[in-house]
Structure formats: C-alpha cells, structure tokens
Amino acid sequence: MLAPSVSDDSRNNVTDFVVKKGNGIKGLAESGLQSVPKQYIQPLEERMDMLSIMTHEFIPIIDMSEGDYLSVEKAICDAAEKWGFFQVINHGVPIDVLENVKEATNRFFGLPAEEKVKYTTKNSGTLNVRYGTSFVPEAESSLEWKDYLSLFYTSEQEASAFWPKECKEQALEYMKASELTIGRILDALMKGLNVTDIDAKKSSMLMGSKRINLNYYPKCPNPELTVGVGRHSDISTITVLLQDDIGGLYVRGIDGKGWIHVPPVSGSLVINVGDALQIISNGRYKSIEHRVVANRSKNRISVPIFINPKPKDMIGPLPEVLEKGELPIYRTVLYNEYAKHFFNKAHDGKKTINFALIDINNFM
C-alpha cells in the first residue's frame, strides 16, 4: 500500500493511511517519505531548541541493591522532591524479562497494517486495548511522531482474551516482575510523607489500576520539525519506564527552564512522579514536564507502566501531609474525571494539574 505523496498530503489522506488503515507512523516512515507531512510540523515554540539542553545536568541513578536501604529510601524521596525523575538499577526485575518485552514490542509493530488495525478501539472489542498514533489526533492541531499500543490491565482473563498474542505474555510478565520494585518505591515515598499505614483505601489510591503502553518512534526525515511526544506530565501515581538504547527522552530542569536528557543506562528503569502523586503529596513530590524527540536515523521503542489510582477513587492531599497545619494546594477530585480531562486535549505541558488546583481567591 502506497502512502499519500507529499504533493497529496492533505490531512484526510494522511489520516486515512496512518490511522484508519492501521499503517501508523511506521508505515508512513517506511514508504520512502522524504519530508514530514504538514500535519506533523510543530509550531516553533513546541520544537526542541537544542540550545536549551542542559548537558551538565543529570537525573539521579539509584542503586536499589545497596545494603543500607534507609539511604535508598531517602534517595528515592529526595529525587521525587527535587527532580521528579530518577533511574533505578539493580531493581530486581530480571534483565531477560526486560529484553523479552522489548522484543515483543518490535514484534507487534512489525505486523502488517491489517493485523495491527484489529486492535484499534473501534475493532478490538474492548475499551481496554487501543492501537493508535500520536496522542489524541482529533484534538491536536499538530500530530506527534509516535505509534502505540495501550493495554489497560483488569484481569488475566481479559488480557488473555483481548491482548495481542505477539506481546501478551511478555507484557504480563514485565508487569508481574515489576510489582515488588513498584511496591518498594511507593513504600519509600509514603514513608517520606509520614504515611506508615497503607490501608486498602490508600493502596487503591496509589496503585489501584495499571496501564502498559508499547511505544514505537519511527525514524523521521525532519526530526527538528516535529516531536516524538509533546511536552506533558503523566497523570499516574508513578510511571515505570523501560527504554531502549537509542535515547531521546528529555525532562524539564529543576528551575523549570531547559531540558535534561535521560540517557539510556543498561538494565535500568526510569521512574517518574505523576500528577496523582503530586496531588496526594500536596506538591511535595513533583510531576515533571517531559518530552521525546524524534530521531533521523534510528527507530526507538519504550515500554512504560503507568501505576494509577482506580478510576472511581477520589484523590486529594493525604491527611498525614496536612496534619501539621499545611494548607491544601489541591482539591479532592474523582480520578476518572481528571483522566478524562487529560485525554480530551492535546499535550500542553503542566496545564492538566490546574484541574485540581484550589483557587486561592476563594480564601481571600
């Protein structure tokens, strides 16, 4: 199947080829494309300014195997407060599990378009499996250079019935193998907030639901004109990201200016604070803006696990955080409403958090 030519790259033609026919950006990139279609050209302010990259700054790398685990817990909390991002090594997730899910990601995206299109929301038979491209194409004025498969976990039974066979086993194995690591990190973060008793309600609020995404960023003829993923913060409690060795993930500097590259570290996992944890901690832990740049010469993959509250959970600052008289910055919101707000618009930096922000004028 031929992609629309550059002279015929109307939005409808490109959308039909990329989205409706299931070719994705991968199909577009492999069609012999010489330049980025106009739909993917970002406004100047959204393109990566290479002069804004802070080459002297690095997010922390934490060794979770260190004997003094109190120092590990402190490092986790310090990183979540100061940076919002950190990498963990010796985390306990077997390397072969990580390699297997990366191979499975490449296997899925290597399928013919007519196979991948079976997993779009329209065709998959469940709202919990979604093959797509960009972020929210219908809400975006400029599209992102990425394909993805998003898998919301509800049960082994549903995963067995609806997840693609090319990656089902490996994705489930990765999620299961990371549970202990996720638990240790969340336990450390809660101790940092003086939360010593994680009851069923708090447990649900912290990690009541999970989503795993398989992301594919094809080579791009004009990476300077587009983005792999636009500026945003995650809406999770925490995100656990497995990236390959290509690189391209950037996070905001501490002062809110500039961008810091998150270099691939063999065997590591990247952890970042999401908006839900920023709200729960009343701003103590920072959900940081981040982005992915496109690459001219290499395809890139990543596999994030989003650890979220349950959709029906109400999230707000924990009582333990406010018990010494600290005023709440955020109101209590239904997590499902917060998520809907995020997914109904294009990526727009840190603006989503304003949905839960308390209007200080109400206190004046």
Would you name the residues annotated as active-site residues?
Answer: 210, 232, 234, 290
Q: Give, for 103, the enclosing helix (H) or strand (E).
A: helix 95-109
**Residues in CB range of 165: below 8 A, 6 or more apart:** none
Question: Could you tell me the two tokens for 43?
Answer: 């406004």
Q: How far lies 221's CA from each of 35, 118, 135, 304, 358, in Å?
A: 5, 28, 20, 26, 44
What is the distance between the alpha carbons of residues 271 and 339, in angstroms, rounded to a whole number? 20
CA distance 88 to 185: 10
3-state DSSP call for residue 15? helix
CA–CA separation, 207 and 308 (whole Å): 5
Distances from the Cα of 126 to the Cα of 132, 137, 211, angstroms:
14, 20, 14
Residue indicated by tokens 């100047």: 44
Taking CA atoms, 161 is separated from 109, 214, 218, 286, in Å, by 20, 18, 29, 37
Is the dihedral angle over the CA atoms 264, 265, 266, 269 positive or is it negative?
negative
3-class SS of residue 13: helix
CA distance 188 to 15: 45
Tokens read off for 145: 């250079």
Gyration radius of the chain over CA positions: 20
